[in-house]
Structure 1
Amino acid sequence: MPETDPDKIDSFLKTTSKILGYHDFFPYDSYRPEQERVIQNISEAIALGKNAILIASNGTGKTIMALSAALPIALNDKKRKILFCSRTYTQNARVIQETKEITQKFAKLQIQETIGAVSLRGRNEMCPHKTLQRLQLPPQESMSLCSTLRKNKKCRYFNQLFKRKKTKGFQDEIDALANMPLDAQDLMDFSEQDDVCPYFLSKILLEHEDIIVCNYQWIFDPNIRENFLESLGVGLSDCIIIMDECHNLPEMANGINSFRLTPFGLRQALKDLEVTRAKFKLVNFVKNLRKMLEVVKDRITDEMELDPSKFIQTILNKNKLGSVRDIKDILLDLKDYGDAIEQEKIDQGQVPRNFIAPICEFFENFLERIDDPAYFACITLKNTSKGKSVALELKCLSPRSITDAIFKESFATLSLSGTLHPFTYTHLLGLNHSGKMLKIIKMKPPFPEENVKVLLTAELNTKGDQRTISMYREMLIAIKPILLNTPKNVGIFCASYEVVNGLWDNGLERLAKMCNKKAFREKNGLTASDNDIIVEQFRSYASRSDFNGAVLLGVSGGRNSEGEDFPGDQMNAVIICGVPFQRPTPSGNAKIAYYEKLFPRKGRVFGYIAPAMQRSNQGCGRPIRRMTDKGLIVLMDYRFGTYSPYLSDWVRRAMVKVPKHTGIIEQEVQKFFGK
């Protein structure tokens, strides 16, 4: 498609947004290379109601480009909202900070335009009620518990907010808050002063805001979206939806539409039923379910497929029921008991948690989808610090059941990613069948080519049958010259925790010490707070004079290889040890087979290869976060060459194949860092 004249686009946008064009919303003195062209393309796509995709690497300014392009169009119609979805609070805060930069520019130039923006967090994070803070329930349960507390006037924070709403000056306060960019923490601090609920204060603000920053669930979970849009006072057709780190969308969408039951939940439901002397058939139904899961726990090692029809027949036999209709009748009775028990807990001043509702939800969905090939029934097993954890699961394989509404009904969308494989993304999410035109925008990396070096080591790999002591030692030999010649910090992201532990157990910590670097390891099951401590300690070694930096050993696809930024010396080099393919499981094989039917000859690509390379791409981007950063990337598995079409363009262009010979690797690293 030919490029549109920049002056014509800006002129068009100025007429649609009264007097302001994207130039006015860009708050910095000058554009980085290609920024203006990209903003023009985004502006045109949004104005014409398209689904747009921007593929741009780290450091390109994706957030400010998206805001500069979307705001002139949104502000032309005050009913129109910009919904900016991101994964982490850090990313949310970045959107608010960029909006503050725009408002500061307006103030400096005396432009009479206000921008209302608010960053939201989930109910558990924003709610000051000690009960919800302590329980940290799943979203649906939090919503139910919160509703019950409010309905029974058991939440003083909500009660206080309700009283404040009736006061004379309340609307003036809302108007003042709605005319400035507010981070969620700002809102929580403000609410704490007046002892009101920040979560419901944010809901009052929503209809007055131009930009709402939230996580994906607010938009994509149908149950949450309905109430959310009602609070906004708009429909999807009024919304410009921007999705940061959109490569996570397929997996996230499948998660929203999947369901699970655990012995813990069943055990708690059973206690409630027995205490209230529920009917024998209801107690027996839950008891039999729990027994079935406990018995199978010792028979499986990872995941076991369930035949849905046989599973339902087993349920019928164990409970001496004649038909599915009988199961549905039991579910109706269970729901009534759950509601009654919840109310009784409230009356007795107890925490009104409903353990029976998830059982009803699971089986209602299971029975409804029993013949749907887009769902996979299984029993899964995970090893945790507390022992084996088993669950009954119904896994969704098709993200489109969740994403279709967004891409078809919204005014326009913009998907942002630095590592996206557009062919996979558009086909999995059906963007080429959404009824909207599709615009794909690619942006060249802003950093100089000489600031990035990518080495692909031949011969080494982490295939399952190759994971021997000999293989780990060969990898450590190849890692040694990288640690010795990298100025400061190094990240090593592995195909799995098995590889992480294999490197650690075979001497990585000793090797790091030999290179005067401190070694840190990301462990499976580590809490977020414990991981944060490790990461901050790792970062600190970048500025210590008594060490030559540190080594962070983690897993590809983990929180550190995707969700963290390591600018400057915080990560001079990253080593990707092995292609992070998912371990073969029945559900994984079912997903590949399902995609193969939808996309002939592409099932393995969409369900197995592309997700693994996506995780690798994310890890590659950790060292390059700023224009001045210089990063070495080592792909330590020859199979990256085989699957190179699925690597990011900038990684593939800079890739040089080298043997595992220590001397050659040393020369390449020294030459790059100027040693």
Structure 2
Amino acid sequence: MSEVNAYLRFFPYDEPYDNQGEAMDRIHTSLERGQDVLFEGACGTGKTLSALVPALEYARETEKTVVITTDVHQQMRQFVQEARAITKHEPIRAVVFKGKASMCHIDVGYEECQVLRDNTRELVDARMEAAQLRDRERELLSAAQEGEEKAAEARKAVVDELDAVSQRAESISEEKNVCDHYRNNLTGNTAEFYQWLFDDVRTPDDVYEYAHQQTMCGYELLKDGMEGVDLVVANYHHLLDPMIREQFFRWLGRDPEDVITVFDEAHNVEGAARDHATRTLTEQTLDQALEELDESEDSRATRAETVLRAYRDALVEVYEESFSFGEREQVGDDWEDVAVANESGRDDLTMEFLQQQYDGLDYKADLEAAVMLGKELDDRYEEAYKNGEATTRQECQTLQAATFVGAWMREGTQEGLHPVASVRRDQGTDEVYGRAELYTCIPQEVTKELFEEVHATVLMSATLRPFHVTEDVLGLTSPVNMAYGLQFPPEKRRTYAVSTPALFASARDDPTVQKEVGDTLHDVVRFTPGNTLVFTPNYSEAARYAAHLRKHGDSTVYLDKAGVSAEDLREDFTNDDGAVLLTSLWGTLAEGVSFDGDDARTVAVLGVPYPHLDDRAEAVQQAYGKAFGRPTDKDPGWKYAVEIPTVRKTRQALGRVIRSPDDFGVRVLLDERYTAKSKGEMGKYSVRDTFPAEERDEMLDIEPEKLKFAMMNFYQDMEAYDGPPPQP
């Protein structure tokens, strides 16, 4: 194998697709230059291997580690399959990593686990030291018996030290909390585990079961075995959370510059990074902090109580004042936002806190006192758990509350941060309670630092374009941009933009609109030789059109809704024939899930499914408009924050079908805003030009009443009907 394509030793199949070969070559060159890559590839065209193969080759040659990550469970399973195929072809050492909470055998929190580890290691070290001292004592006893003059005196010193160490070990064992699973890690023979681990690519469930049988801690075994591995499969939060990332790289035994990161479904990094940067504080935490302070005799407790109670009362007052008649009774168990930001200055919660609730002399000094007291209390709780005086590691609510309130007061007016209050109902007590949140609008606050510190990053997705928008939002500097459309035969697919009425929110309840859209959707289902997959703006619209289709009674209708397993629903649907499945475009079935071949022949997107445009969505628009606007952009906030993410989701949905060269199918966009004529008629609400050029070129504008004929002709050409086609 030549040096030019040496990375193909990690390619586990006969030969790559044409676009895979080119992509691997460009990615390998980019990694050699330390450049980031934005890699858009159509669904089903082998992006994972296109990125992994050159990354593993470059990492092997330069002693680096590849970390591939996603936030979609289906993709995690796909990574494991690809890694297993690779290691059968060219052995690699790979670890699939999940968070501690999903792998803990005794179900304790992070802080408790940390204390248990420390205590257990202290106990094991003490017992090992005692064993060494016993060996030394026996050696000295033998020497003394043979007449060595100084041996008896040395033995006495060793015996004294042995007594002290043995007492310490006994004290730890009797008085402190330890973890038997972790103790077995430290005292047992782990070589067999690591031989088993690297013989193949093991899932976290595999590791958990193996460790459980041995009464060992699989999570800690994985951590200890990650150093210097070739590949790690992980979740987004291992890279996007700065504190976790620092620990994660330490477990890898790699400096950041010796790590190559690969983000799959990278169009989701924007939202995930925003979530990781956002900070929250609930009314319940404030109440617990006040109870904690009430029990404290420290002189600072009064000052801490003054400032935290004022903030708590301000939060309650703000959300209670937001309720109109009957609204309080309608609050459910999902968080509902209460707008507190305003354009005139500080937000309503801050003003209520400062002007009405706080009656101290200096809130900054009081908050500082609260933080200092909280840190001392937190240290006491850790010592109490470590010493066995408490059965659980207590969290210091005062520290959490004071730290958040301090951040709120310092940072609440900063550009890109949006203060929000929200309410929900406690399912256990049926009480309504509130939450304050510092919502981060601009995700590069999290991502930019990551991309700058690692060797290079490959961000891949079927929907990353427009590239300049992704670069701006995530804080990338001059990445290599590469895009590959569907490489499969174009004659085996059709994409129709149907001029049904625009499903603006204001038009959705119009019976005339419902009938035209519903009847057209029925035509789509009836003229599909197999299953039809339908994506709607939300679950309510999915239920509406499911009911419409059921009235016709000529197809089995599956409806995705709360309380129904999406995986079970998908399996039932794909096992059926001639069925239709309706779901929300913002649900779990819209991406990362394949509907190959007969699983779904036609996919339809109903409407332009913009996300819920609430107060925080408006804040993101404003922040994006200020941060990224260009002279040629019209309403850049709307474009960056709403339209482009919506079209990306639409493109993801369209990609659920036609997943191989032999596959064929129809993709239907049911809304006149997708048509070419809408560009002149609907202004910024036309979304045609937001699609990449080659995808626009495939869109065929069609009137609703002609769609069934077009579909019938296409599927007849594909010889897809089992018998004569339906009659138009």
* Shared fold (TM-score, shorter chain, > 0.5): yes
Q: Secondary structure at the match of 2:576?
A: helix
Uncovered stretches (5+) of structure 2, i.e. residues with no partner = 121-172, 324-335, 676-685, 717-724
RMSD: 2.9
Q: Aligned runs of 1:486-497 on 2, under 5 Å? A: 486-497=528-539
CA contact (8 A) 1:157 1:195 kept: no
Of 323-332 and 404-413, the range deviating more from structure 2: 323-332
Which residue in 1 is equivalent to 2:73? 89
Q: Secondary structure at the match of 1:442?
A: strand
TM superposition shift of 1:414: 0.9
Are residue 319 (structure 1) and residue 370 (structure 2) matched?
no
TM superposition shift of 1:119: 0.8
Q: Aligned runs of 1:58-457 on 2, under 5 Å? A: 58-78=43-63, 80-106=64-90, 114-130=91-107, 132=108, 142-153=109-120, 158-167=179-188, 169-171=189-191, 173-174=193-194, 177-178=197-198, 180-273=200-293, 279=301, 281-283=303-305, 285-298=307-320, 299=322, 302-306=337-341, 308=346, 311-316=349-354, 317-323=356-362, 324-338=364-378, 340=380, 347-350=389-392, 352-381=394-423, 390-421=434-465, 422-432=467-477, 437-457=478-498
**1:334-393 deviation line (CA, Å, top 9, x unaligned):** 444455456667734246455445423422432342332110101135689879774311
Which residue in 2 is equivalent to 1:467? 508
TM superposition shift of 1:76: 1.2
**1:593-625 deviation line (CA, Å, top 9, x unaligned):** 222222223222111211111111111111233
Q: Secondary structure at the match of 2:18?
A: coil
**1:64-103 deviation line (CA, Å, top 9, x unaligned):** 121211111111133x110111113332232232222222
Change (3 A) 1:500 1:354: farther
Which residue in 2 is equivalent to 1:40? 25
Which residue in 2 is equivalent to 1:625? 659
CA contact (8 A) 1:452 1:631 kept: yes
Which amino acid in structure 2 is aligned with residue 665 of structure 1?
A: L
Q: Secondary structure at the match of 1:34?
A: helix
CA contact (8 A) 2:116 2:178 kept: no
- Structure 1: how far apart are the matches of 2:594 and 2:178? 36
Which of 3, 6, 18 is the aligned partner of 1:11? Answer: 3
Change (3 A) 1:490 1:309: closer
CA contact (8 A) 1:85 1:243 kept: yes
**1:600-655 deviation line (CA, Å, top 9, x unaligned):** 23222111211111111111111233333323221112223422232255643321
TM superposition shift of 1:229: 0.9
Are residue 532 (structure 1) and residue 567 (structure 2) matched?
yes
Are residue 556 (structure 1) and residue 597 (structure 2) matched?
no
CA contact (8 A) 1:557 1:616 kept: no
- Structure 2: how far apart are the matches of 1:144 and 1:349? 13
Which amino acid in structure 2 is aligned with residue 447 of structure 1?
A: F
Q: Secondary structure at the match of 2:80?
A: helix
Q: Aligned runs of 1:512-531 on 2, under 5 Å? A: 514-517=553-556, 519-523=557-561, 526=562, 530-531=565-566
- Structure 2: how far apart are the matches of 1:413 and 1:64? 15
Change (3 A) 1:650 1:381: farther
- Structure 2: how far apart are the matches of 1:538 and 1:271? 52
CA contact (8 A) 1:462 1:495 kept: no
- Structure 2: how far apart are the matches of 1:309 and 1:591? 16
- Structure 2: how far apart are the matches of 1:494 and 1:383? 28
TM superposition shift of 1:176: 5.8
Which residue in 2 is equivalent to 1:55? 40
Change (3 A) 1:352 1:468: same
Which amino acid in structure 2 is aligned with residue 614 of structure 1?
A: R
CA contact (8 A) 1:376 1:397 kept: yes
CA contact (8 A) 2:280 2:438 kept: yes
- Structure 1: how far apart are the matches of 2:382 and 2:103? 23
Q: Secondary structure at the match of 2:435?
A: strand
Change (3 A) 1:516 1:581: closer
Change (3 A) 1:638 1:234: same
Which amino acid in structure 1 is aligned with residue 100 of structure 2?
A: R
Change (3 A) 1:516 1:592: closer
CA contact (8 A) 1:157 1:196 kept: no
**1:286-331 deviation line (CA, Å, top 9, x unaligned):** 5554444444445257440335466445334523123323223223
Change (3 A) 1:209 1:463: same
- Structure 2: how far apart are the matches of 1:150 and 1:274? 32
Which residue in 2 is equivalent to 1:139? none
Change (3 A) 1:294 1:473: farther
CA contact (8 A) 1:96 1:118 kept: no
- Structure 1: how far apart are the matches of 2:708 and 2:431? 44
Question: TM-score, normalising length from structure 1?
Answer: 0.85
- Structure 1: how far apart are the matches of 2:423 and 2:223? 39
- Structure 2: how far apart are the matches of 1:157 and 1:69? 44
- Structure 2: how far apart are the matches of 1:562 and 1:120? 22
CA contact (8 A) 2:84 2:201 kept: yes
Which amino acid in structure 2 is aligned with residue 97 of structure 1?
A: Q
Which amino acid in structure 2 is aligned with residue 320 of structure 1?
A: D
Change (3 A) 1:362 1:207: same
Change (3 A) 1:272 1:387: closer
Change (3 A) 1:294 1:650: farther
- Structure 2: how far apart are the matches of 1:364 and 1:287? 14
CA contact (8 A) 1:483 1:515 kept: no
CA contact (8 A) 2:273 2:447 kept: yes
Question: TM-score, normalising length from structure 2?
Answer: 0.79
- Structure 2: how far apart are the matches of 1:160 and 1:635? 55
CA contact (8 A) 1:258 1:393 kept: yes
**1:446-491 deviation line (CA, Å, top 9, x unaligned):** 3221222211111422212212241222211111111112123222
Q: Secondary structure at the match of 1:431?
A: coil
**1:532-583 deviation line (CA, Å, top 9, x unaligned):** 33333323324xxxxx32x222211211112422222222222211112223
Which residue in 2 is equivalent to 1:604? 638
Q: Secondary structure at the match of 2:414?
A: coil
CA contact (8 A) 2:70 2:76 kept: yes
Which amino acid in structure 2 is aligned with residue 441 of structure 1?
A: M
Of 559-568 and 39-48, the range deviating more from structure 2: 559-568
TM superposition shift of 1:180: 4.1
- Structure 1: how far apart are the matches of 2:41 and 2:623? 31
Q: Secondary structure at the match of 1:181?
A: coil
CA contact (8 A) 1:592 1:604 kept: yes
Q: How many residues align?
A: 622
